[in-house]
Structure 1
């Protein structure tokens, strides 16, 4: 269960269980430092056992703090006593009853310690976001499953009563619900892959990326899709696979949320001296009500696009935002009901 973070050479750190403050894991460096105090190792000792008595009130105050990460200046029971700063951090992947304490000399801020603290903060942030996402996913899957189960019961009832026309309608609902569940699982897998995955940075000609995405969107079976590239596009050093997904996602949204059979989309680059290029994708779709704009980029949140009957999981714009932020950019949109939508986003910087 010991995290690889503990393998940093020379780092002083240990994990402890808050009930009793019992040390459960420890780096070799810390054990070696305190070996005169505990020749058999620190596992099983309390944090209070390894600090000087005058440090106990300071340690107690830090442990009672409600902050996610806090610090306390203490003296270790070394000879002579050694002044250190205790940094307390949540233990990613462990129960809330566990924490990690990182020790650093009070007069010297170790780059290794700083790097570990930053890594712990990132892991804790990911843990919280994934917990929120899991709750949303369970909610949507439960709703789809309830529709599935209730319609199965009604199909059986209508079949034995000879109401075959109703059976056909309910089977279509079953299919829709199954597709919805499958879509949710696909999108959450994609989102998690973008959240924690690593992709190679490549020199990418965005003209090729946009052309490939536009060609794919133009083959829609029920709509005539016209995509106009208003400007040439630059070459960027980026995660090519993700940027392709970004353009495909936004262009696909523009097609999906257009009521008419004729879809007109404009794609271009705002001309400016900013090293971070700003792109736009403009459509003639149904638009978005101002009340819905604030939640467009939240996972599993679908804007009420004029009650347009479309299938979707509400993950598309959340994924787009995740990709943009991975490339040090930002994304926003301008929209109004029945006036289309313009999505703008920055990527970069230019090489």
Structure 2
């Protein structure tokens, strides 16, 4: 049964990759022709131009969704490579990658470190931190956004990494479905948009490290994401 499930998941990943890749070419054509029609449209024809602008926005939105689906399927198809890694430099890189979002509003980053050195796929763990920190900053309407990152075993069944924020929080009824790909709890115009694939990708990256991810949250009081990283094969050359 497990073998059948694994094979089915692999086939679904392969299908998602091929479908997403093949759909991008005609989508580029739609976007290109919409752009050409917009350039040739009469300036006074407001209604016509608005419809073409809408078509271009929809094409860009679909392109973004396909990129996310391609990335999601690629994560499942490409094996992780485990090596001994110092995580403090990895976290520094992740924080640098979200620096633009950090500058949008007053932000305080707290690091409860140092983080431990572990065996992991360095690039994929960095992506986990980038996604979780970016969400912590994004879904936050506090005057000063506070994000705390650390590693703890306090009150937990096993040691875990965590990313904690003082953001808008997540209602209990949504706390399971947020790890579903393309699941959004807000409209695209709220909190800067996005494809809704980030947490699904994070979950898949964590599971590649034989880990698990969960959260603790209350609406209006912030959210803490916990995750473990316990690779089955400690190191690979």
Q: Shorter chain as normaliser: what TM range?
A: 0.7 to 0.9
- In the alignment, the residues of structure 1 paired with residue 192 and residue 222 of structure 2 have an alpha-carbon distance, to the nearest angstrom, of 16
Task: Report what 1:251 is aligned to.
Answer: 133
In 1, the alpha carbon distance for the partners of 2:182 and 2:214 equals 18
Contact 1:267-1:282 within 8 A present in 2 as well = yes
CA contact (8 A) 2:13 2:77 kept: no
Q: 1:226 aligns to what?
A: 108
Q: Distance in 2 between matches of 1:232 and 1:270?
A: 11
Q: Give the structure-1-normalised TM-score.
A: 0.53
Spell out the pairing of 1:251-290 with structure 2 (5 A cutoff).
251-260=133-142, 262-271=144-153, 277-290=159-172
- Over 3 Å counting, the alpha-carbon distance change for 1:328 and 1:313 in structure 2 is same
Question: CA separation in 2, counterparts of 1:261 and 1:161?
Answer: 42
The higher radius of gyration belongs to 1
Q: Distance in 2 between matches of 1:274 and 1:290?
A: 19
SS for the counterpart of 1:242 is helix
Could you tell me whether the CA contact under 8 Å between 1:281 and 1:344 is conserved in 2? yes
> Relative to structure 1, is the Cα distance of residues 332 and 302 closer, same or farther in structure 2, using a 3 angstrom cutoff?
same
Matched ranges for 1:38-49 at <5 A? none
* Counterpart in the other structure of 2:67: 186
Greater RCO structure (CA 8 Å; 6+ sep): 2
**For the residues of structure 2 that align with 1:303 and 1:250, how far apart are their CA atoms?**
16
Instruction: Give the match's secondary structure for 2:60.
Output: helix
Q: CA deviation at 1:175?
A: 4.8
How much has 1:261 moved relative to structure 2? 6.2
Q: CA deviation at 1:304?
A: 3.2
SS at match of 2:100: coil
- Deviations 1:161-220 (Å, cap 9, x if unpaired)? 9354984x6566445433322221221121111101023211111111111111222333
Alignment of 1:89-108 (within 5 A): none
| Pairing partner for 2:90 from 198, 209, 214 | 209
Partners of 2:90 and 2:47 in 1: how far apart? 47
Give the drift of 1:309: 4.4
Q: Equivalents in 1 of 2:225, 2:180: separation in Å?
A: 15
Counting only pairs closer than 5 Å after superposition, residues 45-64 of structure 1 correspond to structure 2 as none
Higher normalized helix content (fraction of residues): 2
2:123 aligned with 1:123: no
For structure 2, list consecutive stretches of 5 or more residues without a partner in the other structure. Answer: none
Q: Distance in 2 between matches of 1:172 and 1:335?
A: 39
Q: Deviations over 1:263-317 (max 9, x none)?
A: 2111111136999630111112222222222210111111238x83432111111
Q: How does 1:281-320 map to 2 (within 5 A)?
A: 281-304=163-186, 308-320=190-202
Q: Is the 1:288–1:304 contact (alpha carbons within 8 Å) kept by the matching residues of 2? A: no
Query: Structure 1 residues 255, 175: closer, same or farther in 2, change over 3 A?
Result: farther
Question: What SS does structure 2 have at the residue aligned with 1:219?
Answer: helix
* TM, length-normalised to structure 2: 0.75
CA distance 1:200–1:311, change in 2 (3 Å): same
Aligned partners of 2:119 and 2:152: how far apart in 1?
A: 19
Q: CA deviation at 1:122?
A: 2.4
